[in-house]
A and B are shown apart, each in its own frame.
Chain A
Amino acid sequence: MTEEQDKRTERTAIEALSSEARLSYKVEVTDKDGRVVQCEEGPSHSYVRQWNEILHLQAAAIYIGGGGTVKMTDGSTESNAYYSVRSFASNAGIGVDRSGLRVGKDSTPVSINDYALGAPIAQGTGLDQLEHQLTYFTAPSVVGSTLSFTMQRSFVNHSGAAISGIQEIGNYIEFTGSMLGRVALGFRDVLVSSFSIPDGGAITVTYTLKVIA
């Protein structure tokens, strides 16, 4: 068995044994009349390193000056990150595109070191812009041995033309550093299909976070 086969075998074993925590997504495009014109569902493969780094801030109770380092969505690095009430916050309001669920046009495969969407769509009604609605959540619910909750956000196209080439989705999560609110990429997915949003239509992204005991 080659070293590469060894790694594949090990990874398969690990994945098979530790499959209790699952993240999945659904993407749906509707036209101006609310009819579904395109849809895709699938398992997410895309937590990135900042997720574990912010979890570490919490678990180890990294305080101000503790050296917590997290790369932000603007590409700069916060080297005074610490545990906070804002860690993982994703409940972005209407018109807010600095945090919460985002969509973009890049199709570069996900890397563990990704720190932002490759080509995120900005808030607005101009060319290639989308109006960002509230990122909202359903409360956790237990069914049998499974607990799950969802987060969802719609983006409305009032740009005057179709917006095509939507190929990535992800979540920008908040954390705290240097006494300021910061934002990092938590997870990112590249879609199987390229999505096109007609003028007056919308794209809705739903992530389901699930754990099975």
Chain B
Amino acid sequence: MNRGLWYKVIVRDRDGKVLSCENRGSRSMLGNWYRILYAHMASTSTSLVHTSGNSWGVINFGDNWKFVAAANEDYIGIVIGTGIAAVTIDDYKLDSQIMQGTGSGQMRHLASTPGWPSVAGSSCDFLASRTFLNNSGGPITVRESGIYCRVKGPTYYGYACIVRDILATPQDVPDGGSITIDYTLRITA
């Protein structure tokens, strides 16, 4: 195996002190990742369920896979949730997503831009990272993470869940604290 995806989770308190860190291999690149890949490699379209639940499919298109996200955008980029449903190959969204905001159970989504791939030795790493701030007034326990990307079907634009993980350890984010999720896609020759 020369290609792997894994994630790193760091929780900090309001002073920036690291409270928890988890670094594990992701087992959850979803079927949708490969459906988009197929559409591009074969220059065609195929079935795919969008995060909206609509079976709008995917066609090869320039915007596909885009998951660079601006601040406050909770429909694209790295996302987090509180759900614990086991990952399945046809998952099309998080089990229970934490939405953008400062209300109860909400977190502020910061901007996220995937970094340029870097080569070190025989490996090439592609890193994406996003931080979420808890200004809800109470603690929030994060149990799942994933990636939503832009996708276009033959008719409609939408978003697709291409990665989903259940965290090995539920991460308690205190009020005023933050959680940062890193996803790294590594190729090793």
Contact = CB atoms under 8 A, between A and B. Distances in A.
Interface of A: 11, 13-23, 43-49, 51-53, 55-56, 58-61, 83-91, 110-114, 136-137, 139-140, 142, 144-149, 151, 173, 209-213
Contacts of B3: 21, 23, 47
A47 B185 CA distance: 12
Contacts of B63: 61, 83
Interface size class of B (residues with CB under 8 A): 35 or more
Given A15-B1, A59-B66, A112-B122, A88 B24 contact: no
A14 B40 contact: no
Given A21-B4, A60-B113, A84 B33 contact: no
27 contacts: A13-B25, A17-B6, A18-B26, A20-B28, A21-B29, A22-B1, A23-B3, A55-B65, A56-B126, A60-B68, A83-B65, A83-B66, A84-B62, A85-B40, A89-B40, A90-B41, A91-B44, A112-B188, A114-B189, A137-B38, A140-B35, A142-B90, A151-B41, A209-B34, A209-B37, A211-B30, A213-B88
B84 interface: no
A142 B89 contact: yes
A11 B44 CA distance: 36
From A46, A49, A144, name the one whose CB has the most chain B CB atoms within 10 angstroms. A49
Contacts of B24: 17
Interface string B54-89: 000000111111111000000000000000000111
Contacts, number: 182
A58 B27 CA distance: 22
From B24, B117, B186, B189, name the one whose CB has the most chain A CB atoms within 10 angstroms. B189
Contacts of B31: 140, 142, 147, 211, 213
Contacts of A55: 65, 126, 185
B126 A83 contact: no
Interface of B: 1-6, 24-31, 33-35, 37-38, 40-44, 46, 60-68, 87-91, 113-114, 116-117, 119, 121-126, 128, 149-150, 185-189
Contacts of A91: 41-44
Given A88-B41, A151-B41, A211-B30, A19 B89 contact: no
Nearest to A58: B65
A150 to B, nearest CB: 10
B87 A213 contact: yes
A12 to B, nearest CB: 11
Given A18-B27, A213-B87, 19 more contacts: A18-B26, A20-B27, A21-B3, A44-B2, A45-B189, A48-B187, A51-B187, A52-B117, A56-B114, A60-B66, A60-B68, A88-B41, A91-B43, A140-B46, A147-B31, A173-B41, A211-B30, A211-B31, A212-B27
A47 B189 CA distance: 7
A49 B187 contact: yes
Contacts of A23: 2-3
Contacts of B2: 23, 44-47
Nearest to B59: A85
Contacts of B66: 58-61, 83
Give 9 closest A-B pairs by Cβ, nearest first. Answer: A17-B25, A18-B4, A18-B25, A58-B65, A147-B31, A213-B89, A112-B189, A137-B42, A88-B40
B37 to A, nearest CB: 7
